[in-house]
Structure 1
């Protein structure tokens, strides 16, 4: 019996007909990614400051937190918070919690490295002018460190956005889940996954554009031209 070779083809008619349905998942995809990224940044900034100022036992705990969460697959975190807790979180809550904690670990390392890259002389100059630690961080150190961190922050934002496709595993109706439903009904997963891939790519292009614009504005505010940066 001779095996039949299956040659996948893209059904553009199916893609255009089902696009409005798949796009209904955009608020879930972008919403989870945005909320998680913002909360992750807040946690990361707090942890980064504690790494500088806290006593040794707390610093050790933070390093363990960062190492542990960087080493856990996202699907494990999602299942842990959705299926494993004694209280039942909604799929959206479990997703936001998982991505917030995971991204905070990576962002903490980014901010730690960015702060370490700021010349120590900047801090000494700030203290000599009478700045408190809080004023020094807000007015001198963080603005410089943030410029260095922006490209890496953009990469984390993209990773969080793409990672939200895993929320389909706990029934979040994001674009991947809706495309999978259509693919199962129409027996054409190939076309639907191509559609989803293009949608994620377009959203990542948007993040990349925001990243470049933010970086250019920060450099301009600091009086650094694009030529100087090169």
Structure 2
């Protein structure tokens, strides 16, 4: 019945409608089993990297090891932000085997996306922490809290609220960028679209369908982002 309804649309035939309906479930399955889990795992790992890098860059540098670590962190951020994610994926998947390191497609994508998110999100986290007035640090010190205790209990919660909008945008962008994983053989949403398109030769039709599915996913994530921001605004207002 759905095929008949689609066939009534302009520029749509019964054969094209059948292709659309047949391609829908594989693409949704690829999104649920690979695209979204890949984005979630990579984002969580990237946030851990981002927090560590941001801490290295904002804490006072006295010891030699800290100064060296600071330079490594800056170099990492500069290298990741200065090269395309596709190149990073190819280096890990196709380049590392030359050094005897061979990874499966899914772990390869997680590593590449995590490193990429970590570099970009570290700047977001660093800016959010630096936006907190210095008086908050002094207030924590005045009640006997150590530097790390002040950071954990006073600065980090406030910085997290500031960082929510840009980090949410980073996650939504990451969901779309998981389509690059198809180039290292991860059978995510766009890879499924490529498989169907190569079999039916209806490239425009199938790719537009894939684009619509991505759009729906990102639209839902945007709604969740708005609710999350509103919840934190109410919490702060109290």
User: TM-score, length-normalised on structure 1?
Assistant: 0.89
Q: 2:110 is matched with which residue? A: 96
Choose which of 84, 90, 107 in structure 2 pairs with 1:79. 90
Q: 1:16 is matched with which residue? A: 21
CA–CA separation in structure 2 for the residues paired with 1:195 and 1:96: 26
* 3-state SS of paired residue (2:237): coil
* 3-state SS of paired residue (2:102): coil
Q: Deviations over 1:51-74 (max 9, x none)?
A: 122433321221111111011111
Q: 1:171 is matched with which residue? A: 185
Choose which of 39, 47, 62 in structure 1 pairs with 2:45. 39
CA–CA separation in structure 2 for the residues paired with 1:34 and 1:206: 15
How many pairs are equivalent? 217
- Hey, which bits of structure 1, 4+ residues long, moved more than 6 A? none
CA–CA separation in structure 2 for the residues paired with 1:40 and 1:137: 20
Q: 1:138 is matched with which residue? A: 152
**After the TM superposition, which of the residue ranges 100-109 and 142-151 deviates more from structure 2?**
142-151
Q: 2:68 is matched with which residue? A: 57
Q: CA deviation at 1:76?
A: 0.8
* 3-state SS of paired residue (1:82): helix
**Contact 1:175-1:196 within 8 A present in 2 as well:** yes
Query: Where does the alignment leave 5 or more consecutive residues of structure 1 unmatched?
Result: 1-7, 225-230
Q: CA deviation at 1:44?
A: 0.6
**Contact 1:12-1:191 within 8 A present in 2 as well:** no
> Following superposition of structure 1 onto structure 2, how do residues 199-218 of structure 1 map, counting pairs within 5 Å?
199-218=213-232
Please, what is the CA RMSD of the aligned residues?
1.6
**After the TM superposition, which of the residue ranges 135-144 and 183-192 deviates more from structure 2?**
135-144
Choose which of 169, 176, 191 in structure 2 pairs with 1:162. 176
CA–CA separation in structure 2 for the residues paired with 1:139 and 1:206: 32
Q: 1:228 is matched with which residue? A: none
**Contact 1:33-1:164 within 8 A present in 2 as well:** yes
CA–CA separation in structure 1 for the residues paired with 2:85 and 2:131: 29
Q: Note if 1:193 corresponds to 2:207.
A: yes
**Contact 1:127-1:136 within 8 A present in 2 as well:** yes
CA–CA separation in structure 1 for the residues paired with 2:137 and 2:237: 19
CA–CA separation in structure 2 for the residues paired with 1:22 and 1:48: 37
Q: CA deviation at 1:79?
A: 0.8
CA–CA separation in structure 1 for the residues paired with 2:85 and 2:119: 12
Q: CA deviation at 1:9?
A: 4.6
* 3-state SS of paired residue (1:222): helix
* 3-state SS of paired residue (2:186): coil
CA–CA separation in structure 2 for the residues paired with 1:223 and 1:187: 55
